[in-house]
Amino acid sequence: MKAKLPKKYKIIVIFQFVIIVFLFYCLLSDHYIETSDKWFKENSPDGQYNVQASFPEGISTFSASEAQILIYDNNQKKYVNSIVLYIDTNGKFPNKDNYNLEWHEDYVIITTINSNGKSNSVRVYWEDL
């Protein structure tokens, strides 16, 4: 005849199993998100500049993630500026709904949109590059 575990030990074993599954899920989801860090890449309407964004440190599941915005001069084929913005996407990789680029003759406005709808904007003037 098998000895039965007391009820409190069964609860402890079930709780430990749930914690292990949760931690395993967190590790897998972090690894999956970090492997693809490119967010977007767009050219200016005149083709002179190129703006691209990525997440060099991956997507944070618990806080805002650091997005690195790079600006390239296509005519001189060189990198000209870098900006760091923070965006909160609730641990999900952002898509085209989480940013907006507003191109103007003298500048570009880069806007990042958090999961709660709040936004951050940066205006970059071409003459400052």
Q: How far apart are CA 114 and CA 101, in angstroms?
A: 15
Domain boundaries, the chain: 1-35, 38-128
**Residue 30 one-letter amino acid:** D
pTM for this one?
0.66
User: Is the pLDDT reported for residue 129 higher than 80?
Assistant: no
- Structure tokens of 52? 């691209």
Q: How far apart are CA 89 and CA 95, in angstroms?
A: 10
pLDDT value for 1:
52
Note the pLDDT tens digit of each residue in 64-117: 888 888 889 888 788 788 888 888 888 788 888 889 999 998 999 999 998 888
- Structure tokens of 61? 């599941």
**Torsion of the alpha carbons at 107, 113, 118 and 122, rounded to the nearest 10:** -20
Note the pLDDT tens digit of each residue in 42-59: 999 988 999 999 888 878
